[in-house]
Amino acid sequence: MFILNEHAAYRKPLEAADAEVLGVAAARMVEHFLHHREGYKPTPLVSLPELSRHLGIASISIKDEGLRLGLGSFKALGGSYAVIRLVLDEATKRLGRTIDIAELHNEDVRQIAATMTVACATDGNHGRSVAMGAQLVGARSSIFVHSGVSEERIAAIARYGADMIRVDGTYDDSVREAARVAEEKSWITVSDTSWPGYERIPALVMQGYTALLTEALRQMPERPTHVFVQAGVGGIAATVAGHFSVLFGDDRPYFVVVDPSRAACLFESARAGHPVTVEHGESTVMAMLECYEPSLVAWRILSHTADAFMTVEDGDAVNAMRQLADPKGSDPAVVAGESGGVGLAALAKIASSASLRAQIGLGAQSRVFLINTEGATDPKLYQSLVGETPEQVTAKNAQPATM
């Protein structure tokens, strides 16, 4: 399914607070922070010339976040950044002077961090990032997981010293439970989704994601003309659309938000013209996108900046994983998890329809930007869906290409 954005706010300027969160100065600060992170290096921007020829467009550039900070997804940029910001804010307040990231490991700052507990709900990747941030600063973390989160993903979060709390129900139930318990225990909720009265911390999480765009724009020879970004609660999609709109104004690329058809909360919000909660039906293979309520901040930004909303099926997502693992001709192989290749799945769907191509102006001159938002964050599941291990797929790039 595909619809154009017909919201009254469409193409109107962002609200001032949103423009600031995703603005140039904010993106610079995120970069400054990242340069203090051990092991930081930009993720690759992979070009797929054979596939773009096959789809009848000029180029496809895919930012490979599977390699981000050892965490396997772009989420590594958001939750941990927010935790660091919160600790520095608290230290600034308690020590009575501005504390910079360079002082994060000073004894007085660590003592303050040790008194703080951060909490969040997660499908897997956001919790890993928050737990990693807490470990880095010396704070405690309590991470809430719903019944659909795999044991492998829970173990990957617990490795960062987090207390794991299991919640019956869906992701949205775990979000509510995390907020409730955090309130009761005076923990700080570091959520990647926002709701009325709770916007600042999720906005910081989104601000952290801008790093991948700063890197990508440096890596690209030319600006993209079209962008397809997958959505759970809409945080990453809103970051891309919002930041590009701040940077490029009316010249920004055409922006399509992509939802799984089984958890299409942004698509349905766009159809209704306001944020809606969709019914929980059968679960989707795109586990990280299985969210039934949009983030309020993300929805607000997307209502201004997204050009279109569409859905893809589970089969489309798995086909995209396989297509990236077993590329055409000399294109490099990319390890994309179940939610990672969804932007490509959407592009392939549009590219195969003459009327949709015409509707979004996709043609032989188009340069498409996609984000592989995660690598094989659940390696066993990856192998069962793709038929090869992540290591086998990666090894293809070290061998001469075969026909």
Residues taking part in catalysis: 75, 123
Residue-wise DSSP of 286-330:
-GGG--SS--HHHHHHHHHH--EEEEE-HHHHHHHHHHHHS-STT
Number of residues binding to ligand PLP, judged by CB under 6 A: 21
| 3-state secondary structure (DSSP) of residue 61 | strand
Q: How far apart are CA 254 and CA 306, in angstroms?
A: 8
Among 46, 116, 236, 297, contact with ligand PLP (rule: CB under 6 A): 236
Q: What is the smallest separation between the CB atom of 402 and ligand PLP, expressed in angstroms?
A: 30
Minimum distance from CB of 265 to ligand PLP (Å)?
10
**Does position 289 bind ligand PLP by CB under 6 A?**
yes
Q: Is 245 in the site for ligand PLP (CB under 6 A)?
A: no
Phi, psi of 14 (to 5 degrees): -65, 155
Q: Compute the least distance from the CB of residue 231 to ligand PLP, in Å.
A: 4
Please say which residue, 33 or 171, places its beta carbon nearer to ligand PLP: 171
Residues 14-73 contacting ligand PLP, CB under 6 A: 73
- Asked if 125 touches ligand PLP (CB under 6 A), the answer is yes
Q: Which of 18, 90, 123, 268 binds ligand PLP (CB under 6 A)?
A: 123
Joined tokens for residue 337:
């998890």
Q: Is 141 in the site for ligand PLP (CB under 6 A)?
A: no
| 129 binding ligand PLP? (CB under 6 A) | no
Orientation angle between helical segments 342-351 and 314-325, nearest 10 degrees: 100
Enumerate helices (H) and strands (E) in the chain, giving the number of each: 17, 11
Nearest to 332 by CA among 60, 11, 42: 60
Smaller CB separation from ligand PLP, 99 or 345? 345
Is residue 131 a contact residue for ligand PLP (CB under 6 A)? no
Shortest distance (Å) from residue 126 CB to ligand PLP: 5
Q: Distance between CA 200 and CA 191 in Å, rounded?
A: 10
Rg from Cα positions in the chain: 20
Residue 378 within binding range of ligand PLP, rule CB under 6 A: no
Distance, C-alpha 23 to centroid of its chain: 18
Q: Is 230 in the site for ligand PLP (CB under 6 A)?
A: yes
Q: Which helix (H) or strand (E) holds 179?
A: helix 171-185
Q: What is the maximum span of the chain, computed from C-alpha positions, in angstroms? A: 65
Q: What whole-number distance in Å separates Cα of residue 232 and Cα of residue 328?
A: 29
Q: How far is the CB of 74 from ligand PLP (least distance, A)?
A: 7
Q: How far is the CB of 4 from ligand PLP (least distance, A)?
A: 20
Q: Which is nearer to ligand PLP, 208 or 234 (CB)?
A: 234
Q: Which positions from 336 to 375 touch ligand PLP by CB under 6 A, shown as an x/- string? A: ---xx--------------------------------xx-
Kindly state the smallest distance separating residue 291's Cβ from ligand PLP, in Å: 6
Beta-carbon neighbour count of residue 373 at 10 Å? 31
- Contact status: 234 vs ligand PLP (CB under 6 A): yes
Judged by CB under 6 A, does residue 232 bind ligand PLP? Answer: yes
Q: Segment contacting ligand PLP (CB under 6 A): 18-26, 86-94, 244-252, 284-292?
A: 284-292
Residue 63 three-state SS: strand
Which residue, 109 or 258, has its beta carbon nearer to ligand PLP? 258
Query: Cβ neighbours of residue 384 under 8 Å, at least 6 residues apart?
Result: none
| C-alpha span between 306 and 87 (Å, rounded) | 33
Q: Which stretch binds ligand PLP (CB under 6 A): 2-10, 16-24, 224-232, 276-284?
A: 224-232
User: Per rule CB under 6 A, is residue 75 in the interface with ligand PLP?
Assistant: yes
d(CA 216, CA 194): 26
Position of tokens 């043609």?
Answer: 363
Handedness of CA 195, 21, 245, 233 (dihedral sign): negative
Q: Residue 355 CB, nearest distance to ligand PLP (Å)?
A: 28
The binding site for ligand PLP (CB under 6 A) comprises 73, 75, 123, 125-126, 192, 230-237, 288-289, 291, 339-340, 373-374
